[in-house]
Amino acid sequence: MERKAASGDALGHDSLILGIESSCDETACAVLDGAGRIRAEFVASQIADHAPFGGVVPEIAARTHLALLPDMIHRALAAAGTTPSGLVAIAATAGPGLIGGLIVGANTARGMALAADVPFIAINHLEAHALTARLPDTGGNPPNFPYLLLLVSGGHTALIAVEGVGRYRRLGTTLDDAAGEAFDKVAKLLGLPYPGGPALERLAAEGQGGRFDLPRPMLGRPGCDFSFSGLKTAVAQLVARQPEGGLPRDFAADLAFAFQSAVVAALADRLRHALAMLPGATAVVVAGGVAANKAVRAALADIAAGAGLPLAAPPLRLCTDNAVMVAWAAIERLRAGDAADPLGVRCRPRWPLEHVRNMQIAG
């Protein structure tokens, strides 16, 4: 059977693409049309499933994706008024991420694409985050290439020059913990529930500065790399000196404030360095779960404004993992002239953005 080949030329405004996201602990699917309008959007959080363990359990995540995806996809297609054969392509995250979850989502998409005789597109999760700010259906002004991306999440912290679809140049990355990972670990030290990042932000809003002098890792050093492990260790040492039992609320709030301030200072300093390395940038784009943090957004907006650039940030719901960004990345790829991917493309737990077009066939 000769399968259809998706192309940018065939992508009309009414063409529909299904996106599937299952790289970690959000199960999601979405349908977008060729103009980037969101026709259907569903996300199921697995927080309750993983909270008893204080973090994501890969096997539980994969089994939950498997249980949720079929009905979620059915509802998304119904909401968009289409069927699998009415799609021009089906896209799924193929990496990086937890391999079990990636396989569930990608195999679901592959099976649907084969049965409906429509193209399959394997999406790099980081590329999807990188391109989300260009989605027209978000109420903002989509940035033109090139722009500077700060990708800041639980698994990734990096500064990337986004020079075009499929053209990415890493300017700096974390040498140890990602910023979101540090938020979660410090939140646990402070006795906060999972997920730790939002809980720590709420606690920090009660705190005041001046009580703790925490380190600012990499601050002022050349380049754009990050480091958060030493900052996390400094918090752990302060907590360890406290008497056993629950931490006093004011102590925890002031320490949360100090930690968040140190992370914000580090992100801001590295962003300034990166802007100097990309003088032709049209905008500063921030993406990833930590981009939902209000203190982070405010600091980045100030730096962007000081450089005469807009800060482009997706709506909060599109900062965390979602399928809208997966479908949109597929649209961007098709518009750029990329061909659909073979069904045998391998899922990859590690897939650097710089090597986004270097896929492998399973087997």
Mean predicted lDDT score pLDDT of the chain: 92
Asked if residue 177 and residue 307 are part of one domain, the reply reads yes
Report if residue 234 sits inside a domain.
yes
Which structural domain range is residue 345 located in? 16-133+319-355
Asked if residue 173 and residue 48 are part of one domain, the reply reads no
Q: What is the mean pLDDT of residues 269-287?
A: 95
Report if residue 2 sits inside a domain.
no
Q: How far is CA 17 from CA 83, 111, 296, 329, in A?
A: 11, 15, 33, 10
What span, in angstroms and rounded, lies between the C-alpha atoms of 139 and 142?
9
- Give the pLDDT score at 4: 52
What is the sign of the dihedral through the CA atoms of 120, 126, 131 and 137?
A: positive
- Give the pLDDT score at 360: 56
Residues annotated in a binding site for substrate: 151-155, 184, 197, 201, 293
Q: DSSP secondary structure string, 287-353?
A: ESGGGG-HHHHHHHHHHHHHTT--EE---GGGTSS-SHHHHHHHHHHHHTTPPPBPTTBPP-S---G
Amino acid letter, 174 = T
Residues annotated in a binding site for Fe cation: 125, 129, 321
Asked if residue 294 and residue 189 are part of one domain, the reply reads yes
Position 127 pLDDT exceeds 90: yes
Report if residue 4 sits inside a domain.
no
Report if residue 363 sits inside a domain.
no
CA-only gyration radius of the chain, Å? 21
Report if residue 164 sits inside a domain.
yes
Q: DSSP secondary structure string, 12-76?
A: -TT-EEEEEE-SSSEEEEEEEETT--EEEEEEEE-HHHHGGGTS--HHHHHHHHHHHHHHHHHHH
pLDDT band at 116 (very low <50, low <70, confident <90, very high): very high
Residues annotated in a binding site: 125, 129, 151-155, 184, 197, 201, 293, 321
Q: How many domains does the chain have?
A: 2
Position 361 pLDDT exceeds 60: no
Asked if residue 221 and residue 198 are part of one domain, the reply reads yes
Asked if residue 268 and residue 343 are part of one domain, the reply reads no
Asked if residue 217 and residue 299 are part of one domain, the reply reads yes
Report if residue 329 sits inside a domain.
yes
Asked if residue 152 and residue 124 are part of one domain, the reply reads no
pLDDT band at 3 (very low <50, low <70, confident <90, very high): very low
The pLDDT tens digits for 213-233 are 999 989 889 999 999 999 999
Domain CATH number, residue 179: 3.30.420.40
- Give the pLDDT score at 115: 97
